[in-house]
Structure 1
Amino acid sequence: LVDCPDCGGLLKPDVVFFGESLPQAALSDAFAMADSCDVLLVVGTSVKVSTAVWVAGQAASSGAALVVINRGPTDLDHDPGVALRIEGDCGVYLPALAHALGATA
């Protein structure tokens, strides 16, 4: 992170760092989408952050299948809501999935 050369304020990317809270609007949107999705992709995360666990749990409780793609173990690996667990690089599997579903770049 760096300081803004104009105002001296902190410049940071539009991401949530470990230990920070999600903005309330984003959290509400995530739960609303989890309630209505058929499949939730959990990609490139160990799922160590509580919010990720809560959203995945909400989706599973609403009947969604969970698909986990990650290099290394996750906290969802033995969750009964996980329909598919892919061990590997999300940079390989996501483009392949998009292609299989007919997406074009």
Structure 2
Amino acid sequence: MKTKPITEYSKEALENIGTYIQLNDWEKEPIIKKITFYNFTDLMCSISAILEAIEIIGYDGQQDNRTTCANLASVARKMLPNEELAFMDRLLIKRESTKDDFITIKNM
């Protein structure tokens, strides 16, 4: 599958986000939208697309697009699999305090 780089975005879609994503009706409650990913590659592709949009807007957008970049960055940051990556660190990265806990894979 050949990919095409993102070269533009819809300002109207961002301004009218409520017509695309169901937002909470309560004024002071946080907006929560559950997003499901099939695997880490799927998640990485989604975050990568958001970061590419930020990059393009940052380089080619108008000065007033800084808020759009900040909002996209906030979404991407919230999508990062923090707990999963912390687990992978603990599973695979040997530190001075955990070196005795590691087992050679061939001995398993």
More strand by share: 1
TM-score, length of structure 1 as denominator length: 0.21
